[in-house]
Structure 1
């Protein structure tokens, strides 16, 4: 569920039925995508309890354009700038490529993120160049990719999401279903 809260985007966590929950997602698929540039998002990340906040990019053609599994991210990737899968103040910065099936591949770095859940807003960024995408947390570099096989060279669209995932720590059944479990987004900026 997506709501507005005084000018901020609110991606709520909602219980639909017994053991059935929903988050929210906003993306620009089919409306805006880009290749190379800088993305910065100012986001409040709630405590992780079986649900996550995420800032990421996705190739419009998916991870295997034309069904080709080529061992690289050059033809499209899921670029997870931030995915709050841990209860502790850390998160993975990940590149996923060659689909979600048998060809699935990924490269990830766990980012230590002081006060991730304790301070209201943080900035998450990606300075994406053809040769070295750089991930940022509150303006500090937390990962730089230099392997050319891990760098997408195609247009990607930005996504903000609040997801219920079995792979995240905790249990969504323990999450408070109020503002404590909401992902708030102050802004997203992209420069090219």
Structure 2
């Protein structure tokens, strides 16, 4: 399985670095400064009625998880690889250096935590040097078009440098034809957003560090995706945008040739994940378990 941004990842390292540099100059800094304050469960509950940050429209909420409990809500999420499920599972991209271990996923203090650490583990037919976690909503929630948003604490390897290969994204079942929407992904120490499909792979990266707490969002429309960082529109993509239903993916992978510098242990945390759709959606707009 070569999921997870493989059109970009397959590029030679030098070419990818040049592309990211060029994109960084076009995207802007992507919002205000990081907040170091850790959100409380009560603040999450109080904010449930809010609309997508900076994304205009008449929205209704179709999915939310505020992570206010003490364990993962298995009515909404599964752990591990959605294509090869199990308590210990191989990664979705063969270039990752980590196995997925359900024990690396925890809900506490009003947040979801996905922790990568150095521990040798066998998964599939390989033994890898690291373990980490993934959660996904396959067969539990999917949607076509709408706004998706998460408040994320992005791990840092150094001030402003994203550690490892964290991501908040959505993917269609028939990949790459179903598409892949990477709302927040750490590439070469930068926060990036891009859309991959069989037709095209385009994206944009920050020109400043976006570690710590930030809100990452996207509005997925027919033939267009707008990306937001801390409520500020930072990129619009119109090539290769698909219209098949997607489910949500949250993971914290390790691969320094693609992501940022390896810095372990490292925890990717989510205050909330939400999805909205317009109150008068297009006929193809839907959400389904």
Scaled by the length of structure 1, the TM-score of the pair is: 0.77
- Unaligned regions of 5+ residues in structure 2, if any? 1-103, 122-127, 278-289
Within 5 Å, which residues of 2 pair with 1:1-192?
Answer: 1-17=104-120, 20-48=129-157, 51-64=164-177, 76-87=178-189, 90-98=190-198, 105-112=200-207, 114-117=208-211, 120-147=212-239, 150-165=240-255, 166-170=257-261, 172=262, 175-177=263-265, 181-192=266-277
Shift of 1:105: 4.7
**CA offsets 1:31-81 (integer angstroms, 9 cap, x no match):** 1110000101000000147622111110022214xxxxxxxxxxx211111
Aligned length in residues: 163
* 1:176 partner SS: coil
Q: 4+ residue runs of structure 1 moved beyond 3 angstroms?
A: none
Partner of 2:143, secondary structure, is: coil
Higher RCO (CA 8 Å, separation ≥ 6 residues): 1
2 CA distance for matches of 1:191 and 1:58? 17
Tell me, in whole angstroms, the C-alpha distance in 2 between the residues paired with 1:39 and 1:47: 24
How many Å separate the matches in 1 of 2:187 and 2:237? 21
Larger-Rg structure: 2
Q: CA RMSD in A?
A: 2.1
User: Is the 2:155–2:163 Cα contact (8 Å) retained in structure 1?
Assistant: no
In structure 2, C-alpha distance between the alignment counterparts of 1:78 and 1:106, rounded to whole Å: 9
- The Cα shift of 1:132 comes to 2.3
What is the TM-score when the length of structure 2 is the normalising length?
Answer: 0.52
Provide the rounded CA distance (Å) in 1 between the counterparts of 2:260 and 2:186.
9
Secondary structure at 1:168's aligned position in 2?
Answer: coil
